[in-house]
Amino acid sequence: MDKSTRGKNILLLILRLFFGCLFIYSGFVKIADPQNFAESIENYQIFGTWLSQWGAVLIPALEIVLGLMLLLGFWMKEALLLTAGLFVIFDVMVIQAAARGLNIACGCFSSSQNGLIDLWKILANSVLTVLIFTAYFLFPKKSQSAN
């Protein structure tokens, strides 16, 4: 294994552990108060009340499952793809809310109604999105079948 491959693998491992822990934390925080999280989703005014309830059921569980998959290295390509997809969805929701001037809580890593959407929140989410896509492209494609 050459130096560059080893460097990529270490970076991928760090990103996997970071996103794994982040998603498990975020999932547990949201699952602790599903009603509040459903309200956070509804505040974005994209989905109605009913779909927001389903979102509050699915997203925290999906985050925990993806977090575990990233930590354990199980179905890595799929875990990275889904995580990246989730971040893109979160980004679109946050940016459209900011563009529409909605004064709402992000609900990104908590179910609370605190922490309003601002430029920093958008920037932080964008950085995380770039990092998860970096992890996806660092993942060695030829070894996918080995998982």
Partner 1 sequence: MKTFSRIVQVIIFSLIAGIVINQFHSQGMSWRTLILPAFSKYGLVETNMIIVSADSALVLFNNKSTIFIDVRKNEDFQIDHIPLAHNIPSSSIMRADFSDFDQVIFKNNVLLYDQEGDLERLKLISNVWPSQGEKRVYILFGGYLSWLQNQNPVEFDG
DSSP the chain: --HHHHHHHHHHHHHHHHHHHHHHHHHHHHHH-HHHHHHHHHHTSSS-HHHHHHHHHHHHHHHHHHHHHHHHTSSHHHHHHHHHHHHHHHHHHHHHHHHTT---B--SS-SSS-SB--HHHHHHHHHHHHHHHHHHHHS-GGGGGG-
The smaller minimum CB distance to partner 1, of residues 35 and 96, is found at 35
**Residue 26 binds partner 1, judged by CB under 8 A:** no
Q: Which of 15, 41, 56, 98 binds partner 1 (CB under 8 A)?
A: 56
Q: Which of residues 69-88 bind partner 1 (CB under 8 A)?
A: 69, 75, 77-79, 81-82
The smaller minimum CB distance to partner 1, of residues 93 and 98, is found at 93
**Residue 137 binds partner 1, judged by CB under 8 A:** no
**Residue 14 binds partner 1, judged by CB under 8 A:** no
Which residues in this chain contact partner 1 in the complex, by CB under 8 A? 31-35, 38, 48-50, 53-54, 56-58, 60-62, 64-66, 69, 75, 77-79, 81-82
